[in-house]
Structure 1
Amino acid sequence: MTDITNVPLSRRQLMGALGTTTALTMLPGCVTTTPMGTTASGQALLDEFAWNILEHEPLRATSLGVDTGDRAYLRSRLGDASEAGQQAYADTLRADLARARAFPKDGLDPATRTSFEVVESAYSTAIEGFELPYGDIPVGSWRTAPYPVIQNVGAYIDLPRALDSNHPIRDEADAEAYISRLEEIPDVLNGELERMRSARAMGVIPPDFLLERANDQMERQLADAMAGGSLVESLVRRAAEAGISGDWQARADEIVQNRIAPALEAQLAELRTQAAMAGSAPGMSAQPHGDEWYRWSLKSSTTTDMSAAEIHQLGIETLADIHAQMDPILRSLGYTEGNPGQRMIQLSQDDRFKFAEGDAGRAEIIDFLQERIEWVRGEMPRAFARVVDPEVEVRRIPPNEELGAPTAYGGAPAVDGSRPGTFWINLRDTDLHRTYDLVTLTHHEAIPGHVWQGEYSNQLPLIRTILAFNAFSEGWALYGEQLADELGAYDDNPAWRLGYLQAAAYRAVRLVVDTGLHAQGWARQQAIDYFHTNSGVGVAETTNEIDRYCSWPGQATGYMVGKLEILRQRQRAATAMGSAYDLKDFNLAVVEGGNAPLDVMAGNIDRYIGT
C-alpha cells in the first residue's frame, strides 16, 4: 500500500491553504463520565428532531425506509413546497435549534455529543439560508439552488425519479400511498410556481441558457406525462410484478393527465415568461442579493468560512500540483504538446479507451462498472478495520432526465436494507465515458465512496442518517478515489492513473470556475474554455458542468475542500500518533464518526488520536 504521506497534493496545499483559512475549532476529548439517563434523554431529543425534519420531507423517510409502523402515513405524503411551507420548515428548525442549544451536554457520551454538534451546525446554516429572500435551501443536504425550478432543480425532475426508485410497491397499501402522492404532485408544482413568480417579482431571473435547457426538460416531462409515461408506468409495472390487483392504470392516468400535466404546463408557461426577460450573465453577482446568496452557498457547501477569493486561489494552486503529476505520465505515453488538460483531450480520442455506440456500448459500460465494484470490494479489508458489505446496483439515469443530469451520482442503501445502494450513470451518449475515467468514477460513487460511506452512516441514529454535508460527502468520495489508488487500482495501467489524476484536476478546476462565475464576473464561455482546456473533458460535458454550477452555486467547491481537509486530518493523526497510527483505524474513525461538518469531523479525529 502506498505510504500515506505520498498524497497527490502538495504539503503546502494540505497544511497551508486549508489550515489557515477554515478556522476549524477542535472539540474537547472524550467525556469520561456518563450519568445514567443523560445520554438516553439526549438521544430521545435527537430522535424528535429527526422526525420533525421528516414531517416536512416525507420522501426522505421513504428513501431511508423508515416510513413504517406508526410513521407509515408519511408514505402517502410529499410535503409543502410553497412559500408558507418553507417558512414552516424554517420555524421548526429555529425551535429545535433552541432546544438543542439549551440541552445540557455535560455527561453525554462522545457519539451523542457529536450528534448535537452536527445538529447545531446544520440547523444554524440552514436557517441562515431560509432568511435569504429566495431559493431552495438544503437542510442537511447538498443542493444550493437559487432557482426553485430550472434544468436540474424542481419536482418535475425529482419526483418521477424518487417515486420510481424509492417508493416501494409491495402491497395494496403501498400502491394506494403512491396514488396519494400522485394526487399531491399538483400542489407541490403549484407551490414551486408561487415561488418562481415571487422571485421574478424581485428581479430574480435565471440566465437565458439555463432557461433554454429547463424549457426543453419541462417539455420532455410534459410529453411523458401526457403519454402516460414514467409516473404511471412505474406503478402499473411494479404492482403487476407484486401481484397487486387494481385499476392502477386508469387511476394514475386520470391524475397525471388531468391534474399533474396542467400544473406542469403552468410551470412551463412561467419558464417561457422568464426566458423572454432573461439576460446572459451566468453568476449570482448579477442577481438581487446575489453576493449575499453566494457567500451563504459557499458556507453551506464547504462547512467553512472560506471566502470566494481564497477558494479561487486554492483551486489554481491545487490544479498546478496535479498537472505536475500528470505531465511525466503523459510524456511516457507519447503525449507532449500542450498542457496536461489539452493532452488528455488527445488521449480521449484513442479508440482503445472508448465504448461502442448505442445500447451495445451502454451494456459494456454497465458490465465494466460492475466488474470494478467487485474488485474494489475485495480490497476493503486492507483499508478499514471494520468492513461493511453494501449491495450496489448500477442504474441508468432515466433518459428524460439525462440532458440536465450530471455524469453520475451515487446513494447509500436504505436504512432497513429494503433498497440497495445505487450508482446512477448518465448514458445519453456512450461517448461521455472512457475506460480510464470510469474506474475512478466507480470508486467515487460506489466503493469506497458514497455507497460505502453511506452504509456506515446508516448505522448511526436517525438524525445522522438524515443530515449530510456536501464537503464531507463529496470530500470523502474524492478521498475514496485516492484510497483506491493506494490499494493499487491503477498500478498496472498508466491510462487509468491519468484518469484518476484527471478527476482530481477536474475538482480543482471547479474551485476556480465556480468562484470565477459567481464572484469574479466570468462569462459562461470563459468558464467553459477554462474548464475544457485544463481538465481535458469534452466541450459537451464541460458545458453541462458549467451550467450545473450556475444553477447550484457553491456546491462544486465542496469536493476538493472536503478532500483536502480529510487528508490534513490524516497527516495530523499520523504525526501525532507515530508508530501507533494505522490507516485502517483512521479511515474507520472518519466513517464511523458519520457525515459531519468539517470542524466536527476534526473533533472526532481529536478523540481518535487520544484513544
Structure 2
Amino acid sequence: MTHSSFDITRRQVIAGIGATSALTISGCASVPRPEGIAAAQKIGADRLLEVVAYNLLEHEPERATSLGVDTGRYAALRSQLEDQSQSGQDAYAATLRQDLGRVRAFPKDGLDADTLTSLEVVESAYSVALDGFALPYGDVAVGSWRNAPYVVIQNVGTFLDMPRFLDSTQPMANGDDADAYIDRLEALPTALDGELERMQAARAMGMVPPDFLLDKAIAAMEQTIASAGSAELFVPAMRENLAKAGMPEAYANGAKTLVTGPVTAALTRQLDELKVQRGVADSDPGMWSQPRGDEWYAWALRASTTTTLSPDEVHERGLEELAALHAQMDPILREIGYTSGSVGERMQALSADPRYKFAEGDPGRKEIMDFLHERVDWIKAQMPRAFNTLVDPNMEIRRLPLAEEPGGPGAYGGAGSKDGKIPGRMWINLGSTDLHRKYDLADLAYHETIPGHVWEGEYSNRLPLIRSILAFNAFSEGWALYGEQLADELGAYDEFKVGRLGYLQSLAFRACRMVVDTGLHHKRWTREQGRAFFVERNGSKPEEVASEVDRYCSWPGQACGYKVGHSEIVRQRARAQSDLGDAYDFKAFNDAVILGGNAPLDVMARNVDRYIARSEG
C-alpha cells in the first residue's frame, strides 16, 4: 500500500505557520496586535497537530477506525491496513522524522499550556519511536504500549490482532462498510507477507525467539489456520453483522472465499517460518542473548517508562517497593488468621482457600462477569467524590477471544472511539476461572475500566486527535494503578479486608514485574527463576505467572512501566500536598493529572506544576 502524507494547508500557512514571518517584521502598521499573533499561533498549532495526526493514521489506518475518524475526507482509511513490509516501516519512520521536524520548528512563544503540552507529547513520542525504528528488527509502537522484538509470536502479530479487530471494531452499518470489510480482507495476505519478510530478515541476522515462545505461537497459529480453513475465522461475525445491518449474504460468501483461500495460504506461510525458527531456537528468554539485545532492551525500557532509568535502577526500585507493600500486607494477613510464613507463602495459602475461588466452567464464568458488572456499577457512583470533571463512558466487558487466552494476560482494557460509537472495553481471560479470585478481581475491574483505562481514555478522546492516538505505557498503566488506589481510598474494601489484600498484592505484583523483567533481560535470569520469584515472593498463582513471564519475554520493558508510572503519580500528589498545604484539593489534583492527558512522566509533572501555581495564586 502506498502512503502519502497530508500536507500543511493554505489556511494553516495563513493562520499559523505563515504567521511566523509576520513576527519578524518591525515598524509596520500591518503587524497584528499581540493577542492576534497569539490567536494565529494557536490556530496554526492546532492545524499542525491535526496534520501530524492524520499523517500517522495514514500508516496505521486501523487506528483511524478504532477512533472513529475514518470518515469524510479520510473514509478511504477504513479499507486499508498498515503496510507491514520493511519498506512500509521505513516510510512510516520517514513520516515521523518529517513531522518531528515540523513540531520542533513551530514557534512556541505565546501558546497556551494545553497546546504546548500537545507539542511536547508529540516530540517525545516521535523521537523515542525513531530511535526504535533505527534498530534492526522488531515492531515499534508509536505512542502505544507494545514494543516487540519479534514481529510474530504468541501474543504479537496480525494473525491475532485482525480477528479481534474485524469482529469488534470494524463498522458494519451499510454497503460502504461491507465493501471496506472485504477490502481489508483482500489486503490481509499482503500484510501477513510483509510480516513474513521481516521475520525472515531477523532470522538471517540471528534474531530468533526462544523455543518456548515459538511453541505457543505455532499452536496459536495452527488454531487460527484451522478456523480460517473452515471459514470460522471472520465469516461468522461478518454474517451476523450483515444480518443486523440488513445487508446481502453475498458479502459473507465473498469473505469466505478470501479467508479459505489467500488468507489461509498467507497464514500457512507464516506458520512454516515459525517452524523453521523453532528448528534453530534456543531456550534463552532474555534480550541479552539476541544480536544488539542490550541496546534494544535499553531502548524498550526507556520507551516503556518514559524515563532514563537503567535496568539496574529499575530492578532495585522493584525490590524496595515490593518490601514496602509486603509490610502493609503483613498485618492484614495476621488479622484474618494467616500468621505463619512469609507474605508470599501466606498469600499462596489464601489463594487455595475455596471461599475465594469461583466455580469451574461456565457457571464460574457467569459468576465472574456478574461480579465485574456489580463492581463497575459501584465505582461509577463514587466518581463525583474523586473528580470535578466527570465523564460517562460507553463501555462493555467481554471475554478474551479463545485464540488469545492461552498466551494472554488475565485481562486488559482500553478506551472507546473518539466519536463514542465504539465502546471502551475490558477484555477478561476466562480460559480458566482459576485465573481469578474473589479478593483480587475487584481491583482488576477498577484498573481496566473506571477509574482506570476506560475512564482515562474518555478524557484523552476530548483532546486534539493526536493526543487520542499517542499513549504512553508509564502514564496509561500508572494511571490505572492509581485508579486502583482511588477505589481503595473511596472505600472499596472498607467492609472487605481480604479485598484490600488483593489490591495490595496487585501493586506488589507490579513491583515484581520490575524485578522479573529486568532479571530476564538484563541479569540473565531463566524463565523458571522469573516464575519462582512471583510465586515465592508474592504468593502469585503459578498458572497466572506462567503466561505473564512469557509475555515479558515477547514485550521487553513493557511490564516495568506500570509501577514506575504509579509511583511517579503518587510522588507528584505528595509534592502537591506538601507545597499547597490547606490549599491542596484531592479532586482538583486528580483533574489536573487526567485533564492533562496521556503524557510522558516529565510532561505530566509540568501539568502538576501548573496546578500548584494556579492553586497558590
| TM-score category of the 2 structures, normalised to the smaller one | over 0.9
Given that 1:282 and 1:524 are in contact with CA atoms closer than 8 Å, whether structure 2 keeps it comes out as: yes
Letter in 2 for 1:417: G
Letter in 1 for 2:149: P
2:450 matched to 1:450? no
2:282 matched to 1:279? yes
Letter in 2 for 1:427: L
Instruction: Give the aligned partner of residue 371 of structure 2.
Output: 368
> C-alpha deviations, 1:350-395, integer Å up to 9, x for none?
1111111111111111110000000000000000011111122010
- Write out aligned runs for 1:295-314 (5 A): 295-314=298-317
3-state DSSP of counterpart to 1:423: strand
Match of 1:266 among 264, 269, 278: 269
Instruction: Give the aligned partner of residue 601 of structure 2.
Output: 598
Letter in 2 for 1:391: N
2:65 matched to 1:68? no
Report how far residue 185 of structure 1 moved: 0.6
2:486 matched to 1:483? yes
2:610 matched to 1:607? yes
- Write out aligned runs for 1:168-179 (5 A): 168-179=171-182
Match of 2:56 among 41, 50, 53: 53
Match of 2:157 among 138, 151, 154: 154
Give the distance between the partners of 1:35 and 1:458, measured in 2 at CA. Answer: 25
> C-alpha deviations, 1:66-94, integer Å up to 9, x for none?
10111111000012000001100000000
Match of 2:349 among 325, 346, 349: 346
Instruction: Give the aligned partner of residue 27 of structure 2.
Output: none
- Write out aligned runs for 1:45-444 (5 A): 45-444=48-447
Aligned-CA RMSD value: 1.1
Give the distance between the partners of 2:582 and 2:337, measured in 1 at CA. Answer: 42
3-state DSSP of counterpart to 2:412: strand
Given that 1:34 and 1:108 are in contact with CA atoms closer than 8 Å, whether structure 2 keeps it comes out as: no
Instruction: Give the aligned partner of residue 555 of structure 1.
Output: 558
Give the distance between the partners of 1:558 and 1:58, measured in 2 at CA. Answer: 26
3-state DSSP of counterpart to 2:425: strand
Match of 2:582 among 579, 582, 589: 579
2:506 matched to 1:473? no
Letter in 2 for 1:214: A
Give the distance between the partners of 1:163 and 1:445, measured in 2 at CA. Answer: 22
Give the distance between the partners of 1:378 and 1:602, measured in 2 at CA. Answer: 29
> C-alpha deviations, 1:455-491, integer Å up to 9, x for none?
0101000000000000000000000000000000011
3-state DSSP of counterpart to 1:385: coil
Larger mean Cα displacement after TM superposition, 574-583 or 92-101: 574-583
Give the distance between the partners of 2:369 and 2:312, measured in 1 at CA. Answer: 40
Give the distance between the partners of 1:543 and 1:195, measured in 2 at CA. Answer: 28
Give the distance between the partners of 2:539 and 2:234, measured in 1 at CA. Answer: 38
Letter in 2 for 1:254: T
Larger mean Cα displacement after TM superposition, 532-541 or 599-608: 532-541
Give the distance between the partners of 1:532 and 1:153, measured in 2 at CA. Answer: 26
Instruction: Give the aligned partner of residue 26 of structure 2.
Output: none
- Runs of 4+ more than 2 Å apart: 31-34
Report how far residue 33 of structure 1 moved: 9.8
> C-alpha deviations, 1:281-302, integer Å up to 9, x for none?
1000000000000000000000
Letter in 2 for 1:610: A
Alignment gaps of 5+ in structure 2: 1-33
3-state DSSP of counterpart to 1:356: coil
Instruction: Give the aligned partner of residue 5 of structure 1.
Output: none
Larger mean Cα displacement after TM superposition, 548-557 or 163-172: 163-172
Given that 1:218 and 1:268 are in contact with CA atoms closer than 8 Å, whether structure 2 keeps it comes out as: yes
Give the distance between the partners of 1:510 and 1:152, measured in 2 at CA. Answer: 18
Give the distance between the partners of 1:328 and 1:80, measured in 2 at CA. Answer: 54
3-state DSSP of counterpart to 1:141: coil
> C-alpha deviations, 1:31-53, integer Å up to 9, x for none?
99972211110110010000000
> C-alpha deviations, 1:240-266, integer Å up to 9, x for none?
111112412220111011100011111
Give the distance between the partners of 2:168 and 2:587, measured in 1 at CA. Answer: 33
Give the distance between the partners of 1:340 and 1:254, measured in 2 at CA. Answer: 56
Give the distance between the partners of 1:243 and 1:346, measured in 2 at CA. Answer: 54
Give the distance between the partners of 2:277 and 2:38, measured in 1 at CA. Answer: 59
Letter in 2 for 1:400: A
Match of 2:542 among 536, 539, 544: 539
Given that 1:145 and 1:553 are in contact with CA atoms closer than 8 Å, whether structure 2 keeps it comes out as: yes
Match of 1:494 among 497, 507, 524: 497
Give the distance between the partners of 1:36 and 1:492, measured in 2 at CA. Answer: 53
Identity %: 59
Letter in 2 for 1:68: T
Q: Kindly tell me: are residues 32 and 377 of structure 1, through their superposed partners in 2, closer, same or farther at Cα, counting changes over 3 Å? A: farther
Given that 1:232 and 1:253 are in contact with CA atoms closer than 8 Å, whether structure 2 keeps it comes out as: yes
Q: Which has the higher contact order (CA 8 A, sep 6+)?
A: 1
Letter in 1 for 2:548: E
Given that 1:33 and 1:107 are in contact with CA atoms closer than 8 Å, whether structure 2 keeps it comes out as: no
Give the distance between the partners of 2:367 and 2:246, measured in 1 at CA. Answer: 33
Give the distance between the partners of 2:442 and 2:196, measured in 1 at CA. Answer: 41
Report how far residue 304 of structure 1 moved: 0.3
Report how far residue 338 of structure 1 moved: 2.2
Report how far residue 580 of structure 1 moved: 1.1
Report how far residue 424 of structure 1 moved: 0.5
State the TM-score, normalizing by the size of structure 2.
Answer: 0.93
> C-alpha deviations, 1:3-36, integer Å up to 9, x for none?
xxxxxxxxxxxxxxxxxxxxxxxxxxxx999722
Q: Kindly tell me: are residues 39 and 325 of structure 1, through their superposed partners in 2, closer, same or farther at Cα, counting changes over 3 Å? A: same
Given that 1:151 and 1:210 are in contact with CA atoms closer than 8 Å, whether structure 2 keeps it comes out as: yes
Give the distance between the partners of 1:339 and 1:351, measured in 2 at CA. Answer: 21
Match of 2:528 among 525, 530, 547: 525
Give the distance between the partners of 2:361 and 2:175, measured in 1 at CA. Answer: 38
Q: Which has the larger radius of gyration?
A: 2
Alignment gaps of 5+ in structure 1: 1-30
3-state DSSP of counterpart to 1:261: helix
Report how far residue 398 of structure 1 moved: 0.8
> C-alpha deviations, 1:204-248, integer Å up to 9, x for none?
010010001001110111111111113111111101111112412
State the TM-score, normalizing by the size of structure 1.
Answer: 0.94
